[in-house]
């Protein structure tokens, strides 16, 4: 247990240290505030807990430099968008080439053929579509699932996040569903069409599916947005069996769990879903996502389409699947997200997890380190959570905030939301060692061992 006054003292000291070390970021922040609402072009950029936004200058591989000339070991990697490294050479080359030949024509290119073959072989689903973000892919999948099953409900797990998808913004509080309190401007009662239950609760799943009105279960194979919650042994197999039995489509959103291995969690460990979503890193950081589906789903989609009126389906946006995105995705899938890349990432992430465990234990704390392939997480609790309620209960905002700021001030970036780390193909053992060293210093400061 870390004392609150130690956390407050660290926050105060680290805010002052950040302000002193980053004059150029401070100047840009005040200029940007003239016309950007809250001073940044996208409000998530305020979530780092720094007293003013850190302005980036450039990044390459697993390193990032800010405008004041500091270099960072980057374990955040754009919160997964750059999970395979910043500007991987093949993606940079493909982009440079495509840029001279038009960016968006609303026509397919040769790259589209290669990408679809690659997706089908890797993720073991035969049909694919492209969107501009994972949020958009999840919205499309939900819409298709409702259309083809003619059922209105979507089932999600408490504590989930699937992007800006309103249907998933329903939480359980003391076991009672309610709209996520932070959701802005939603006037519909999402609970009319969304069912929320706890992850790893098979009885609740069976009871919900028994009603026969759930179009799809939208899930990550392991929850990664509420700290990290792993599936119990056998849980995903049971989820697969129950959804099949109730004619409910199973959707795996593998936007984060692509860290598991070459085919994501589904193709690495099974089971395969009916529909599959992957965004963020799939085109090396160029806005792009894909969703895939089984032959049976494709056939049912086609029936809905041919039975309906012609016109706008409500699915898709103009810039989706443009030539630039396809060029980037081809390069990323075939030359960057390779078996060899995972062969570097996975063992190094294991080393990182072991080092974090050693540092935590060395500081007398009984925190938990979990990782799914290249994606790691340390949780300030001695028992790993099994569902969203348990995971939320162990989150410690001010402590995490102090810790992140301490790391930033010493040249290490981890994701600003909870304590997530990513190991990319470009990440080195030296960077891993440094993260462990800096965390050790941070914990020693917080527990008073350095005083
Ligand atoms: N799915 C999952 C599992 C995510 O974690 C996120 C974003 N964190 C998204 C979808 C949405 O991605 P995007 O913001 O790129 O649309």
Dump pLDDT digits (tens) for 273-289. Answer: 999 999 999 999 999 99
**Burial letters 295-323, b for 16+ CB under 10 A, else e:** eebbebbeeeeeeeeeeeeebeeeebbbb
In the predicted model, is pLDDT for residue 23 greater than 90? yes
The whole-number pLDDT of residue 1 equals 80
59: left (phi over 0), alpha (psi -120 to 50) or beta: beta
Which residues are CB-neighbours of 145 under 8 A, at least 6 positions away? 154, 215, 216, 249, 251, 275
pLDDT given at position 219: 99
Helix (H) or strand (E) holding 16: helix 4-21
Q: Whose CA is nearest to atom 4 of ligand 1?
A: 162
All structural domains of the chain with their residue ranges: 4-84+339-447, 89-336
CATH number of 4-84+339-447: 3.90.1150.10
Which residue's CA is the nearest one to ligand 1's atom 2? 162
Q: What does the DSSP assignment read for 79-119?
A: GGTTTT-BS-HHHHHHHHHHHTT-S--SS--HHHHHHHHHH
Tokens read off for 426? 């470009």
pLDDT, position 74:
98
DSSP state of 15: H
User: What tokens were used for 21?
Assistant: 């070390």
Mutation probe of ligand 1 site: the residue of 139, 224, 279 with most atoms within 8 A of C-beta? 279
Query: What is the distance between the alpha carbons of residues 332 and 283, in angstroms, rounded to a whole number?
Result: 6
Give the residue whose CA is nearest to atom 7 of ligand 1: 163
Stretch 201-229: mean pLDDT, rounded?
98
- Ligand 1 geometric centre to CA of 69 (Å): 30
Task: Please report the atom of ligand 1 found closest to the CA of residue 225.
Answer: 5
Angle at 321 (CA atoms; ends 262, 131), nearest 5 degrees: 70
- Rg of the chain over Cα atoms, rounded to whole angstroms, equals 22
Q: CB 220: neighbour CB atoms within 10 A?
A: 25
Which of 163, 276, 288 to mutate for ligand 1's pocket (most ligand atoms within 8 Å of CB)?
Answer: 163
Six-digit token string for 126:
């035969």
Q: What digits encode the pLDDT tens for the residues 142-191?
A: 999 999 999 999 999 999 999 999 999 999 999 999 999 999 999 999 99
Angle between helices 202-210 and 235-245 (to 10 degrees): 10
Residue 447 has pLDDT above 90, yes or no: yes
Q: What are phi and psi of 74, to 5 degrees?
A: -100, 105
User: Which residues, 6+ apart, have CB-to-CB distance to 275 below 8 Å?
Assistant: 125, 141, 144, 145, 216, 249, 250, 251, 252, 291, 292, 293, 294, 297
Q: Token pair for residue 22?
A: 């980053």
Whole-number average pLDDT of the chain: 97
CATH class given for the domain over 89-336: alpha beta
Residue 348 confidence (pLDDT) above 60: yes
Least confident of 5-19, 60-74, 248-262, 437-451: 437-451
Q: So what's the pLDDT on residue 171?
A: 98
Please identify which residue in the block is written with the tokens 């999402």. Answer: 190
Lookup: tokens for 154: 């979507």
Q: Is residue 201 pLDDT above 70, yes or no?
A: yes
Q: What is the mean pLDDT of residues 428-445?
A: 98
Tokens for 257?
A: 């769990």
Work out the angle between the directed axes of helices 4-21 and 397-408 (0-180°, nearest 10).
30
Ligand 1 pocket at CB < 6 A: 133-135, 138, 161-163, 220, 225, 253, 255-256, 279-280
Q: What's the gap in Å between 268 CA and the centre of ligand 1?
A: 21
Q: What pLDDT, on the 0 to 100 scale, is given for residue 418?
A: 86
Q: Which residues contact 166 (CB under 8 A, 6 or more apart)?
A: 183, 186, 188, 190
Residue appearing with tokens 């070459």:
262
Measured CA to CA, the distance from residue 220 to residue 232 in angstroms comes to 13
Six-digit token string for 163: 């992007």
- What are the tens digits of pLDDT across the range 80-130? 999 999 999 999 999 999 999 999 999 999 999 999 999 999 999 999 999
Share of the chain above pLDDT 70, in %: 100
pLDDT band (50, 70, 90) for residue 381: confident
Tell how far the Cα of 135 is from the centroid of ligand 1, in angstroms: 6
Average pLDDT over residues 440-451: 88
Helix (H, G, I), strand (E, B) or coil at 49: coil
Closest listed residue to residue 148, CA positions, set 251, 220, 270: 251
Q: How far apart are CA 54 and CA 34, in angstroms?
A: 17
Question: Are 275 and 293 spatial neighbours (Cβ–Cβ below 8 Å)?
Answer: yes
Res. 451: pLDDT tops 60: no
Longest dimension (CA), the chain: 73
Protein residue closest via CA to atom 1 of ligand 1: 162
Atom number in ligand 1 closest to CA 163: 11
Pocket residue to mutate for ligand 1, from 280, 388, 418, most atoms within 8 A of Cβ: 280
- Output the residue whose Cα is nearest ligand 1's atom 8: 163
Give the distance (Å) from ligand 1 centre to CA of residue 134.
Answer: 5
Query: Looking at residue 449, what is its pLDDT?
Result: 79
Residue 308 pLDDT exceeds 90: no
**Residue 142, token pair as written in the block:** 């939900």
Pairing of strands 63-66, 375-379: unpaired
Task: Report the DSSP pairing between strands 194-197 and 127-131.
Answer: unpaired
Percent of the chain beyond pLDDT 90?
A: 95
Give the pLDDT band of residue 450 (cuts 50, 70, 90).
low
CB 336 within 8 A of CB 90: yes
d(CA 429, CA 62): 12
CB 377 within 8 A of CB 421: yes
Cβ neighbours for 18, distance < 8 A, ≥ 6 positions apart: 50, 51, 405, 408, 409
């Amino acid at each position: 247990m870390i004392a609150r006054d130690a956390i407050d003292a660290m926050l105060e000291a680290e805010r002052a240290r950040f302000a002193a070390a980053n004059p150029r970021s401070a100047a840009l922040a005040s200029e940007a505030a003239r016309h950007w609402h809250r001073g940044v072009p996208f409000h998530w950029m305020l979530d780092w807990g720094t007293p003013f936004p850190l302005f980036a200058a450039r990044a390459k591989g697993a390193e990032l430099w800010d405008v004041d000339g500091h270099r960072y070991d980057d374990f955040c990697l754009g919160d997964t968008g750059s999970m395979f490294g910043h500007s991987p050479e093949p993606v940079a080359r493909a982009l440079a080439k495509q840029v001279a030949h038009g960016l968006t024509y609303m026509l397919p290119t040769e790259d589209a053929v290669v990408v679809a073959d690659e997706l089908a072989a890797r993720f073991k689903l035969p049909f694919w579509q492209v969107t501009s973000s994972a949020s958009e892919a999840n919205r499309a999948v939900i819409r298709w699932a409702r259309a083809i099953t003619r059922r209105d409900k979507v089932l999600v797990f408490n504590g989930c996040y699937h992007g800006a998808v309103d249907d998933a913004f329903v939480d359980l509080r003391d076991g009672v569903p309610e709209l996520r309190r932070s959701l802005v401007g939603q006037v519909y009662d999402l609970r009319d069409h969304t069912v929320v239950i706890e992850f790893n609760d098979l009885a609740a799943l069976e009871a919900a599916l028994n009603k026969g009105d759930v179009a799809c279960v939208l899930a990550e194979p392991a929850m990664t947005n509420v700290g990290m919650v792993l599936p119990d042994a056998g849980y995903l197999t049971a989820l697969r069996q129950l959804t099949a039995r109730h004619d409910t489509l199973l959707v795996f959103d593998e936007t984060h769990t692509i860290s598991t291995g070459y085919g994501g969690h589904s193709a690495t460990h099974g089971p395969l879903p009916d529909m599959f979503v992957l965004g963020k890193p799939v085109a090396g950081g160029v806005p792009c996502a894909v969703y895939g589906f089984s032959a049976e789903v494709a056939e049912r989609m086609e029936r809905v389409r041919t039975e309906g009126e012609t016109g706008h389906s409500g699915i898709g946006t103009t810039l989706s699947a443009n030539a630039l995105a396809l060029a980037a995705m081809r390069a990323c899938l075939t030359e960057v997200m390779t078996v060899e890349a995972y062969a570097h990432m996975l063992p190094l992430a294991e080393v990182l997890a072991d080092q974090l465990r050693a540092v935590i234990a060395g500081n007398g704390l009984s925190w938990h380190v979990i990782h799914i392939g290249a994606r790691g997480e340390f949780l300030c609790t001695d028992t790993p959570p099994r569902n969203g309620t348990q995971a939320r209960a162990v989150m410690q905002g001010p402590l995490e905030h102090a810790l992140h700021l301490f790391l930033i001030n010493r040249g290490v970036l981890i994701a600003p939301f909870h304590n997530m780390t990513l190991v990319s193909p470009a990440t080195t053992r030296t960077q891993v060692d440094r993260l462990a060293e800096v965390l050790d210093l941070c914990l020693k400061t917080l527990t008073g061992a350095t005083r």
